[in-house]
Structure 1
Amino acid sequence: MATVLFSGAASAETLRIGGTGVALGSISVLADAFEAQHPGSEIEVLPSLGSGGGIKAVIAQAIDLGLSSRPLKDKEAAAGAKARPYAQTAMVFATSVGNDTSTITTEDIAEIYSGEASQWPNGTPIRLVMRPPSEGDIKVIRSLSQEIDQAVDAAFERASAVVALNDQENAETLESLEGSFGLMAVGQIKAENRQLKALKLVRSEATDMSDVPEDEFLKTLYLVSSDAASPLAAAFQTFIYSEEAQAILSSYDFKPAN
C-alpha cells in the first residue's frame, strides 16, 4: 500500500501528497496502482492537512501535490497554485453499522439536530457528530431546508455536541459511537473501508427542497500542483486522469469530475 507518513525527508524518487482528509483514501488506492507500474517510485500520503493546509504546503514546496475539496482562492492561484478536479463523490448521512434504520427524512434530520429526537426507533440514543461551523459539510446540511438550518444552530448551542475537526476524525467518531449520525462522503466510506451505514435520504413532501441544486450533494475533489512539480509528480498527475485510474475510482463510488 502507499506509505502514510507523518514527517521525514523525502528521497529523490518519493512523491509527497496531502490535503483534505476526504480524498486520502482515494489517492492512496491510486498510489498503490501507480507504484505497481513504476518500480522504485514511492508515494507518501500524509495525514489530513485540510484543503487549505494542502494548498499552502504546495505553494511552499513542502509537498509535491495537494488535495482539496474546494476551488482555489484568488490569492492561492496568484501564489502559483493550480487546481484541477479529478473526482466527485456523493455526500450521505451515515450511522453505525448496528443501526436498523435505513432511511432518513428531512423532518427527521431537523428533529435530530434540534434535539427534539434523541433516540432511534429501536431505542438506541442518537449520537450526533458535527463538523466545525465553517466547514463546507455544515453548509450542505443547512441548505436542505430552513428548518434544518435553524436546527443546526440549536445543535451547536448544546454543550453535549460532538464536533469532529477533520474528515478522518469524523469517520472514526461515527464508527466508534453506537447510534451515531453525521454527514460523510460515500467514496471515503468505501475507499477507507469504514464500517458505516449510509442512510437513504427521503425528501419529505412538507419540506421545500426545490431550491437545492442536485450537485449540492456532490463533493468535488481537486488535485493541486505548481510549476515546481517534479517529473514523478507530473507522471502521477497524468495517471490520475487516465482511463485506468478513473475506473479504479469508479469502483470506490467516485465519479469522474468533468
Structure 2
Amino acid sequence: MRNSIGPSLSLVVALMFFALLMGPCRVEAAGAETIRVNGSGSALYIMKPLIKAYIKAHPGVRIGMEKPLGSSGAVKALLSGALDMVVGSKVLKSEEVARGGISREYGKMPLAIVTGEQVPKRDVTTKELEDIYSGHVRTWSNGEPIRLVLRPDADIDTTILAGLSPAMEKAVKSAHSQHGMIVAVTDPESDEMVAKTAGSLGTAALSAILVEKLPLNVLSLNGIKPSVKTLANGTYPLAKDIRFITTKKTPSAVLNFIDFIYSPQGRAIAGKAGILVTAGGRKGK
C-alpha cells in the first residue's frame, strides 16, 4: 500500500471545516473585522506577505488563515459561509457557480522540481524525469536511492507534471501504481517530506521556497530555472494558476482586501513572492 502522509483528505477537510465553523465571528467584541481566508497550501504561502502589508496599513482588520483545506475543501467552506474568501488553483464547477461562487483570475506561479538539499543535482531534463518516474532510473549519480514524493492522482501538481510530455504522463501513472510510494496530501506535507527524506524528488511551488525559505534544492528544468521571468517569457513550462474565489454575499471589508491584492502595491508584493500577476484589477480588468 502507498505511504500516504498525514490523515486522509476527507478527514482533514472535516476537521478544518469544523474548526472554521467554531472560529471567531467576523466582527469581534473590540470592533475589529475578521476576514477568514483559506485555500490550497501553495497559494496560502503568497498570502502571508500580502496579509502582513495590509494589516500594517489597516490595523483594525484581522485576517485569519488556518492550515490549508485545499482548493476544493475551502470552496465548500466558503459556500457554506465558514470562509470569506478562497485562494487557489481550482476552476469552479457549474454547480458551485450556481450556488454563488465567483472566481477571479490573478496570475500564475512556477511549479518547481525539487529535491532534498543533499541530492547532488542542479538540473534535470524531461527525459530524466520520465525515466525516474517510470522506474527505469532508481538512483542518483552517487548511488543513493531516489525517493519520489508524489501528490494524489487528482491533485493539480500531478496533472501539471504529467503534462510535460506524453511519456511523462505514462511515467507519472506508473509511479502512482507502485506499492510503498510516498503520497503527500497537501502542499506543506509534500514540502516537509521532500526536505526530510533522503534522496527525495518532488515538486513545490516557487512561492513556498521564496516565502518560507524552505530547505529544498530547486532544480532547473532542461536548463531553465523556475522564476517569474522565465514563466513570463514562456521558457519555463510548469505553472499553477492563482484565483481568488468569493460569493455574491462577500462583505465589503473582504472586497477591500482583494482590491489591495490587485493594486500596484499588492502586485509588487506577489511578484516578490514568486507570482506572475496577469490580471489588472479586482475583476480582471
Whether these two folds match at TM > 0.5 is yes
Q: Which 4+ residue blocks in structure 1 deviate beyond 4 angstroms?
A: 213-216
- Specify the alignment match of 1:210 in structure 2: none
| Pairing 1:223–2:244 present | yes
Query: In 1, distance between residues paired with 2:151 and 2:91?
Result: 20
Give, as a single letter, the amino acid of the residue that structure 2 aligns with 1:137. D
2:213 is aligned with 1:193? yes
Q: Does 1:44 align with 2:64?
A: yes
Q: Percent identity?
A: 31
The superposition leaves residues 87-131 of structure 1 with CA deviations (integer Å, 9 ceiling, x where unpaired) of 311112111122221010112111111222121112222110101
Which of 8, 13, 17 is the aligned partner of 2:37?
17
Deviations 1:34-78 (A, max 9, x none): 000011211011211111111121111111111120221111111
Cα RMSD, aligned residues only: 1.9
Alignment match, 1:74: 94
Which stretch shifts more, 143-152 or 125-134? Answer: 143-152
Q: 233-242 or 215-224, which moves further after superposition? A: 215-224
- Could you tell me whether the CA contact under 8 Å between 2:102 and 2:246 is conserved in 1? yes
1:241 aligned to 2:257?
no
Separation (CA, whole Å) in 2 of partners of 1:84 and 1:122: 46
Q: Note the C-alpha offset of 1:178.
A: 2.1
Contact 1:10-1:16 within 8 A present in 2 as well: no
Equivalent-residue separation in structure 1 for 2:166 and 2:217 (angstroms):
26
Question: Do the aligned partners of residues 69 and 215 (structure 1) sit closer, same or farther apart at CA in structure 2, a change above 3 Å counting?
Answer: farther
CA positional deviation for 1:185: 1.4
Matched ranges for 1:193-212 at <5 A: 193-202=213-222
- 5+ residue gaps, structure 2: 1-18, 28-32, 224-233, 280-285
Distance 1:60 1:72 in 2: 15
Native 8 Å contact 1:58 1:225 kept in 2: yes
Post-superposition Cα deviations, 1:202-258, rounded to whole Å, max 9, x if no partner, equal 18xxxxxxxxx9785221111111122122211111110010011111112211023
**Equivalent residues of 2:54, 2:260 under 8 A apart:** yes
Q: Is the 8 A contact 2:111 2:239 kept in 1?
A: yes
Report the CA distance between 1:160 and its aligned residue: 1.9
Secondary structure of the residue that 2:86 maps to in structure 1? strand
- Contact 1:130-1:164 within 8 A present in 2 as well: yes
The number of equivalent residue pairs is: 245
TM superposition score normalised by structure 2: 0.81
Checking the alignment, whether the CA contact within 8 Å between 1:17 and 1:44 is kept in structure 2 is: yes
Q: Unpaired runs of 5+ in structure 1?
A: 1-5, 204-212
Which residue number corresponds to residue 3 of structure 1? none
Give 1:23's aligned amino acid: A
The separation in 2 between residues aligned to 1:138 and 1:39, in whole angstroms, is: 40
